[in-house]
Structure 1
Amino acid sequence: MAAGSPVNATELPLDLVNPSVSAEEPLDARDIELVQTTFKKVAEVGPEAAGRILFGHIFRIAPEAKALFSFAKDEETMWLPGSRLEKHGARVVNTVATAVSMLNDLEALVPVLQRLGLQHVGYKVLPPHYDVVGQAFIATLDDALQTEFTEAVKNAYLKVWKIVQATMIGDNYA
């Protein structure tokens, strides 16, 4: 499909368990363009709102993940505007925005992700948690992008997530 051509958003249903993308396919320039273009719409939602949506999906997919976050101990206040969850979610979304902006320079992005991965070891994040965050991230993108979240866009983000996940895990759990 040519850039700028209309897309059919109902090509294939979103499948968070068995995404229709080969894990072996490399990230290419078209994928990077799709991610960088569509992430601008996520940015329009705002990092606080996108972060709340992301953590809503994380806690829906894996309620036990709340134990990893001190701000999740008080269910009543954690969703309030200005809460620690909102601030943390905004930091996560802003970090993703930085990574998206660096996709054309993976050589510079990799050390950033490696440091971030090492930090997360200290937070007691385990490799399976990255799967949960990946699923929640894809669901968040689906919410934010709506009809623009086509199969091609989803596949591009899945390729990016594979790089992020593999780099952050690295040798940290060997």
Structure 2
Amino acid sequence: MNDETIHLLETSFAEVAAIREPAAALFYERLFANDPSLRSLFGGADMKAQGQKLMAALGFVVGGLRKPATVVPTLESLAIRHLDYGVRDSHYTTVGTALIETLALSFGARFTPELRKAWTEAYDLVSTIMREAAVRSRAPAVA
């Protein structure tokens, strides 16, 4: 990912962080609208706390884009933990869609094709790392 894209993600995330609670609520609204079955993965979770975790994770990823080696192990660990919650590979697509919809709705006309591309590229990178970690963790150990 080039410096210009990273800068775009950093500056746009600063705006999202300023509206973190409504942005997180909108994300989960979009997530459950796109796949109502995902609501069951959250059980009785405090969705405000869940939104705080989401925003912290996004901030961690955006903050680590200039030094990806520091982010990858955490993303891999997160992916493995999410398996215990019932997350499947197909859910990553739904999450990506909800994220882009949230950003589009939050930024409105300012969600330019360039900004959409940057966030899509960042999410694709994160989801690839997480999906691959999940697959590896399910693979039988080689003796």
TM-score (norm 1): 0.74
Structure 2: which amino acid aligns with 1:61? Answer: N
Cα deviation, residue 86, structure 1:
1.5
Q: Are residues 114 and 171 of structure 1, via their aligned partners in 2, closer, same or farther at CA, if it must alter by over 3 Å?
A: closer
Partner deviation per Cα, 1:78-116 (whole Å, 9 max, x = no partner)? xxxxxx111111211111111111110111111111111
Correspondence for 2:12 among 38, 41, 61: 38
Partner of 2:97: 135
Partner deviation per Cα, 1:101-139 (whole Å, 9 max, x = no partner)? 111011111111111111111111001001000000001
- Count of matched residue pairs: 136
Return the structure number with greater helix share.
2
Partner deviation per Cα, 1:4-37 (whole Å, 9 max, x = no partner)? xxxxxxxxxxxxxxxxxxxxxxx22211111111
Residue 100 of structure 2 contacts residue 116 of structure 2 at CA under 8 Å; is this kept in 1?
yes
- Establish whether residue 91 from structure 1 lines up as the match of residue 53 from structure 2: yes
Instruction: State the structure with more CA Rg.
Output: 1
Which structure 1 residue ranges, 5 or more long, are not aligned? 1-26, 73-83
Residue 68 of structure 1 contacts residue 123 of structure 1 at CA under 8 Å; is this kept in 2?
yes
- Establish whether residue 62 from structure 1 lines up as the match of residue 38 from structure 2: no
Coordinate RMSD, CA, aligned: 1.3
- Establish whether residue 110 from structure 1 lines up as the match of residue 72 from structure 2: yes
2:49 & 2:134 partners in 1: Cα distance?
27
2:83 aligned counterpart, secondary structure:
helix
- Establish whether residue 163 from structure 1 lines up as the match of residue 134 from structure 2: no
Cα deviation, residue 71, structure 1:
2.6
Correspondence for 1:153 among 112, 115, 129: 115
Partner of 1:29: 3
Misfit runs of 4+, over 6 Å = none
1:119 & 1:33 partners in 2: Cα distance?
30
Cα deviation, residue 54, structure 1:
0.5
Residue 80 of structure 2 contacts residue 133 of structure 2 at CA under 8 Å; is this kept in 1?
no
Aligned sequence identity (%): 27
